Amino acid sequence: MKKVISTKRAPEAVGPYSQAVVANGFIYISGQLPMDPKTGQFVEGGVKEQTEQVLKNVGEILKEGGYGFEDVLKSTVYLTDMKDFATMNEIYAQFFGEPYPARVAFAVVGLPKGALIEIDVVAYR
């Protein structure tokens, strides 16, 4: 049985999907964009600020489901420019501690609404 997780402390889904779904102890969080949930707008700045906002959004959804960053097993990072990899990594390391989750990061041609980064995660408790 699956349960939908939703919080006003993260941006609402902008399509036919859920912020997150929990099943059998796993939480699957949809790709998060760098939107401020209060304004519905992207945060100002570059990939540093966007990465911080994306991970704040992920954190709020994890918290709503009763999880934390320490429960994350895998993340996927989508970047529009691999030149931003080092900056993303620096911010990412501020949210995740050892043992780090598995991760894949790659460049994409584009992201919704012109975002520079999007991250989705899977966690288990």
- Contact criterion met (CB below 8 Å) for 23 and 2: yes
Q: Domain residues for 22?
A: 2-124
Query: Closest Cα to residue 46, out of 12, 83, 95?
Result: 83
**CA–CA dist 99, 74 (Å, integer):** 11
Structure tokens at 68: 């934390």
User: pTM (2 decimals)?
Assistant: 0.97
- C-alpha 9/C-alpha 4 separation (Å) is 15
pLDDT tens digits along 39-87: 999 999 999 999 999 999 999 999 999 999 999 999 999 999 999 999 9
Residue 120 is predicted with a pLDDT of 98
Say how many domains are in the chain: 1
Per-residue pLDDT of 3-33, as tens digits, reads: 999 999 999 987 899 999 999 999 999 999 9
pLDDT recorded at residue 111? 96
CATH number at residue 105: 3.30.1330.40
